[in-house]
Amino acid sequence: MSEKTNTPCKTITIALTGASGMPYGIRLLEILLRQRYRVYLLYSQAAQIVAQQEMGLILSSRPKETEASLSEYFKVAPGLLSVFGREEWFAPVASGSNPADAMVICPCTMGTLSAVAVGMSQRLIERAADVMLKEKRPLIVVPREMPFSIIHLENMLKLAHAGATILPANPGFYQQPETIQDIVDFVVARILDHLGVAHELMPRWGE
């Protein structure tokens, strides 16, 4: 299996919001941590509800509790995962002087997408995304909605013009997936490709 030749990111911010599709974000988190990438994790209040509903996963309102529990669950070394609160403005991701190498909003609600598109940084997630755009660093947005209204589409176009990658959670089926995990891995594999992170989640086309 071929690997991407571009230099991978070292520190990646993952933002979980309240759209359906939480398994995508958690699987992405798992792969990055197991490959020993440093991850900054942010999540919205709605994401806490969706995580429990879709996965039975408790994301505590106390970030350090989530940091400890997820580090233990994924068996990662201390310091690889840092979880920040919604208004923790002293977090590294809040400033262009210390940004992550890349950021992924997965899954991304239309509310978060619109806030980022218009630069309305009222929460840390939106501010972190704004930092990525202004510092010209990779921002990958994984919207999970259907159908898209013209407002959604215009906001996606605005973000694409600003330098973001719009990567909808639209799995392909040419790999003949047999499980839900196969479907999840298809989307996560495409995210990893755009981050320059090597993986073996799925065969590559033509191999």
Q: Which residues are annotated as a binding site for FMN?
A: 18-20, 44, 109-112, 144
Side-chain-facing half-sphere of 137: CA atoms under 13 Å: 23
The terminus-to-terminus CA distance of the chain in angstroms comes to 7
SS3 percent helix, strand, coil of the chain, rounded to 5, is 40, 15, 45
Helical (H) or strand (E) element with 173: none
- Exposed/middle/buried for residue 147 (C-beta within 10 Å: 0-12, 13-18, 19+): exposed
- 194, 204 in Cβ contact below 8 A? no
Contact 191, 108 (CB under 8 A): no
Contact 69, 81 (CB under 8 A): no
Binding site listing for dimethylallyl phosphate: 174, 190
Which residues sit in the known binding site?
A: 18-20, 44, 109-112, 144, 174, 190
Beta-carbon contacts of 206 under 8 Å, excluding residues fewer than 6 positions away, are none
